[in-house]
């Protein structure tokens, strides 16, 4: 547990310094190849847990400290230990002892005193923290205020969903197996699931993908239920020319190819992420054209032949998927949203010129902020009178899905 606590502390520290948590954890796995699966699980749970409950933990820590520690590594260690004391089943004495041992010599006394003080005053500290909205909802104040203004009746549910643990949902590869046959395969392996659609199954309990029957053979993919709405909304027909403009890591592209026999071009501006699309295709037995290009610059990739269908799954704040990436809540800034909106509009403008007359473009984000969703679509349609809004589907996060937004536009 000691090594796990130290490495979780490192992950939290790097995130507090502004680095993406997923990238930091991947670097830890790369530089510590001997870590057991259980150790990786502890490190990931502790680091994710800190940022899932950061508002509460920070309020409690501030109440326990007269002044912030000069050494941010001590602050990160205390946050990890407080998370473990409050939200895990590990013995209190083991958590405290390991945290003291993991701290630098000069910080051992402080770490010991703070954690034992927390155990003595826990109920009072948590009650006091609940009077603060940031601590109560575990989101930044600007985020809370924005959701209050945009969803006055639903903001609490959205915030609480963002702090929950996400479900694990599978998309059955209909080109290799039927949903009924795959359910039978799960039952044979004593894996419980709920049926969401003819190709979507939600597991009763998340599990490592390598333990899923047939995963390596391409029978299923892991994809959120909300993300699985994209391919059906595109209204695909065999023989169509289709573009997935911001495709990595390839889940929606693969779903498109599983749904119909189409000529698909998948773009992404990252070479490493584009390789993920190709790896997904290889595992699933699919074929599609994958290119490293900027969707906002069609002259660098478009051959002039229009597409009948376009999926514009644009970069966004990812405010709808924070339960999968809890560090996003604390790394984003209020001013970032305008930047995303500008980028989204530029991509939409560029892609529109590549859409065939009568063709359909599905605009998609994993955001819950209206500036990136309905507000942006409204702005686009003011500029393009030939655009008709066929369907609009805002999906708020709940116990079955993450938060997404879809708008289906047709070029008249």
What pLDDT sits at residue 9? 94
DSSP class of residue 261 equals -
DSSP class of residue 211 equals G
What pLDDT sits at residue 350? 97
* Cα–Cα distance, 89 to 95 (Å, whole number): 10
Q: What angle do helix axes 37-52 and 72-87 make, rounded to 10 degrees?
A: 100
Residues designated as active site? 366
- Write the CA distances from 225 to 251, 319, 367, integer angstroms: 12, 16, 15
* Cα–Cα distance, 32 to 43 (Å, whole number): 12
**Burial tier of 106 (Cβ tally within 10 Å: 0-12, 13-18, 19+):** exposed
Contacts of 120 (CB under 8 A, 6+ apart): none
What pLDDT sits at residue 188? 96
Q: What's the alpha-carbon Rg for the chain, to the nearest Å?
A: 23
What pLDDT sits at residue 107? 84
What pLDDT sits at residue 66? 83
Which helix (H) or strand (E) element contains residue 13? helix 2-16
Contacts of 50 (CB under 8 A, 6+ apart): 8, 12, 57, 79, 80, 83
What pLDDT sits at residue 104? 72
Which helix (H) or strand (E) element contains residue 408? strand 404-411
Identify the structural domains of the chain with CATH numbers, from first to last: 2-137 (1.10.940.10), 168-223 (3.30.70.1170), 225-411 (3.40.50.150)
* Cα–Cα distance, 279 to 358 (Å, whole number): 33
pLDDT beneath 70, residues of the chain: 105-106
* Cα–Cα distance, 249 to 273 (Å, whole number): 6
What pLDDT sits at residue 70? 84
Stated pTM of the model: 0.94
Look over the chain and give the mean of its residue pLDDT values, rounded to a whole number: 96
* Cα–Cα distance, 381 to 358 (Å, whole number): 16
135 close to 56: Cβ distance less than 8 angstroms: yes
Of 318, 15, 58, 52, nearest in space to 160 by CA: 52
**Burial tier of 122 (Cβ tally within 10 Å: 0-12, 13-18, 19+):** middle
Q: What is the token pair recorded at 46?
A: 């502790």
């Amino acid at each position: 547990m000691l090594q796990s606590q130290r490495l979780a502390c490192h992950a939290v520290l790097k995130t507090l310094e502004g680095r993406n948590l997923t990238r930091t954890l991947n670097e830890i796995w790369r530089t510590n190849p001997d870590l057991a699966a259980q150790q990786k699980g502890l490190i990931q749970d502790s680091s994710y847990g800190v940022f899932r409950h950061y508002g509460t933990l920070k309020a409690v820590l501030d109440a326990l400290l007269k002044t912030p520690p000069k050494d941010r590594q001590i602050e990160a260690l205390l946050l990890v230990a407080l998370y473990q004391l409050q939200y895990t089943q590990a013995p209190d004495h083991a958590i405290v002892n390991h945290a003291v041992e993991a701290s630098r010599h000069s910080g051992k006394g402080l770490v010991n005193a703070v954690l034992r003080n927390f155990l003595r005053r826990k109920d009072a500290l948590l009650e006091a923290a609940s009077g603060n909205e940031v601590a109560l909802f575990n989101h930044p104040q600007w985020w809370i205020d924005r959701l209050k203004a945009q969803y006055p009746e639903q903001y609490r549910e959205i915030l609480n969903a963002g702090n929950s643990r996400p479900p694990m949902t599978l998309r059955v590869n209909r080109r290799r197996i039927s949903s009924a046959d795959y359910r039978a395969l799960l039952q044979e392996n004593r894996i419980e699931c709920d049926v969401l659609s003819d190709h979507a199954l939600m597991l009763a309990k998340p599990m490592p993908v390598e333990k899923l029957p047939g995963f390596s053979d391409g029978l299923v993919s892991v994809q959120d239920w909300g993300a699985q709405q994209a391919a059906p909304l595109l209204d695909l027909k065999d023989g169509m020319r289709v573009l997935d403009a911001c495709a990595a890591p390839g889940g929606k592209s693969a779903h498109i190819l599983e749904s119909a026999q189409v000529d698909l071009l998948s773009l992404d501006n990252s070479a490493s992420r584009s390789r993920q699309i190709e790896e997904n295709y290889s595992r699933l037995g699919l074929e599609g054209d994958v290119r490293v290009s900027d969707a906002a610059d069609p002259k660098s990739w478009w051959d002039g032949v229009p597409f009948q269908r376009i999926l514009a799954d644009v970069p966004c704040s990812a405010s709808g998927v924070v339960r999968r990436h809890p560090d996003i809540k604390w790394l984003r800034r209020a001013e970032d949203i305008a930047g995303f909106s500008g980028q989204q509009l530029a991509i939409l403008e560029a892609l529109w010129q590549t859409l065939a007359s009568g063709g359909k473009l599905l605009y998609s984000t994993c955001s819950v902020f209206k500036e990136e969703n309905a507000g942006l679509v409204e702005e686009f349609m003011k500029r393009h009178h030939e655009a008709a809004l066929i369907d609009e589907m805002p999906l708020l996060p709940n116990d079955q899905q993450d938060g997404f937004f879809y708008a289906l536009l047709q070029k008249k």
